[in-house]
Amino acid sequence: MTPAQPVAQAPFPAEKAVVVGGGIVGVCCALYLQREGYAVTLIDPAAAGDSTAKWSCGQMAVSEVIPLSKPGILKKIPGWLLDQKGPLALRPGALPGILPWFLRFLACARHSKIVEIAEDMATLTHQVYEDYAPLLAACPDKTLMGQRPIIEVFDTPAGLEHEREHLALRQALGFKSEVLDAAAISDLEPSLAGRFSHGLLFSDWRAVSDTKGFIAALTQSFLDQGGVRVRGQVKRIDEVADRASGVTLADGQRYAADQVVIAAGTGSRQFFEQIGAQVPLAGIAGYQVLLPTPGVEIRHSVIYADGGFCFSPMSRGLQIGGTIEFAGPNAEPNFKRADIILEKARKILPRLQLDKVEYGVGYRPFLPDTKPVIDRSSRLSNVFLAFGHGQLGLTLGATTGRLITDLVVGRKPAQDLTPFSAQRFALVGGHA
């Protein structure tokens, strides 16, 4: 007798994952889940690359671990209310609504808290390049991330001296910086020759060639590897018992899922009740100006500390921005803030050409301690949380993707994620 042939078994179907939010954090989560064999659907209402990180300075700011709540911040609030041309502004009408957030924010201004936050953030930012490496290796364009360091310049020695304590903390955490004089600044950036005599070089920072193109290229890599991207607005997470079964879009379309990741930046707030999160997430507006043909060569990404903005040379032009505004939820953008940036930039670079100027605003998802949430939902056991990255979304996109994937597959992350728990803001004994 001829021995019976084994019956061919159908391959075990891949588990389905849905990532809500197609910005830099969302696409990196999708790519890392894909690397683990998940069939991933990425959902976002905007086109690929059209996200908050598009309107950012495009820096891999690996040592930007010092929170915004630096000592003396309380004294500056009256100035923010009075001077709407400053690098950080607060709309008077937004103050009542944002006051609870501000009180938590000011509580992080103690020296001990600043050190704690910096130490926590450094556990993430030390891994940035290692975590991006496999994602960028799968992209055809090998120039997505530049190799030049970042420069910061100051008007006076006082500005540099003000940073000494924070530079020492960064150095203690293993980050690099070098003091620049007038000659060094001129050698690095001839267009700034004679303008600045005090600066810093961050040799372990890098900048992407184009913020929009960077996200779009990673998204295309995700699609090329079999991922699905849907343009739509997620209305709710579908539930069965204590688990998510998928998501439903505003148009009624439903996508089933074994795992769900919420990585929608400020848009994550709409899911807080479902995921059991009491998280004080605020959207802080950051304004940018894009000059497609600037007429001036800027070689490095240059932070102008006293002006509160940055020159970011990109393949689509020179992007100038970074000034931020506390405007309150659902506030209309105030593009006069962008005009202020441009006015200041022209004082430094009078030959700037203003043809075809494009204005943009991104709403950075900030938590009062300026740390992100990287966690599992306390209510739905297969929903994972990746939001609140503030100004470090681009920097921490790949690292967040790796850590979220560790949580999804049940693998112990290399970093302790306790400091990034969504429950760190929960009330205990009546106090946050």
For residue 3, the model assigns a pLDDT of 44
For residue 6, the model assigns a pLDDT of 42
Q: Is 142 exposed, middle or buried (0-12, 13-18, 19+ CB in 10 A)?
A: exposed
Residue (of 290, 380, 382) closest to 335 by Cα position: 290
Q: What is the mean pLDDT of the chain?
A: 90
Mean pLDDT calculated for residue range 9-13: 49
Helices (H) and strands (E) counted in the chain, each on its own, are 12, 20
Fold classification of 14-69+112-146+207-281+369-432 is: FAD/NAD(P)-binding domain (3.50.50)
Banded pLDDT at 58 (limits 50, 70, 90): very high
95-99, 201-205, 263-267, 419-423 — which is least confidently predicted?
95-99
Read off the pLDDT of residues 214-243 as tens digits, 9 standing for 90 and up.
999 999 999 999 999 999 999 999 999 999
Judge whether residue 5 has pLDDT over 60: no
Judge whether residue 430 has pLDDT over 60: no
Judge whether residue 88 has pLDDT over 80: no
- Scanning 142-181, the segments in alpha helix (DSSP H) are 157-162, 164-172
Judge whether residue 32 has pLDDT over 80: yes
94-98, 104-108, 277-281 — which is least confidently predicted?
94-98
For residue 74, the model assigns a pLDDT of 58
**Nearest-angstrom CA–CA distance, 395 and 207:** 10
Q: Could you tell me the residue ranges of all domains in the chain?
A: 14-69+112-146+207-281+369-432
**Nearest-angstrom CA–CA distance, 412 and 403:** 9
Bigger pLDDT: 406 or 305?
406
For residue 83, the model assigns a pLDDT of 65
For residue 413, the model assigns a pLDDT of 96
Mean pLDDT calculated for residue range 398-422: 97
Residue (of 252, 226, 298) closest to 57 by Cα position: 298
Which H or E element spans position 106?
Answer: helix 95-106
Mean pLDDT calculated for residue range 57-61: 95
Mean pLDDT calculated for residue range 48-70: 91
CB 274 within 8 A of CB 239: yes
For residue 9, the model assigns a pLDDT of 39
Tokens standing for 30? 């999708």
175-183: long-range pairs with CB below 8 Å, 24+: 175/62, 175/63, 175/65, 175/122, 175/202, 175/204, 176/63, 176/202, 176/203, 176/204, 177/63, 177/201, 177/202, 177/203, 178/203, 180/151, 180/153
For residue 238, the model assigns a pLDDT of 98
Read off the pLDDT of residues 158-191 as tens digits, 9 standing for 90 and up.
988 988 999 999 999 999 999 999 999 999 999 9
Q: What percent of the chain has pLDDT over 70?
A: 92
For residue 25, the model assigns a pLDDT of 98
Q: What percent of the chain has pLDDT over 90?
A: 72
Read off the pLDDT of residues 339-365 as tens digits, 9 standing for 90 and up.
888 998 999 999 999 888 999 998 999
Beta bridge partners of 303: 152, 310
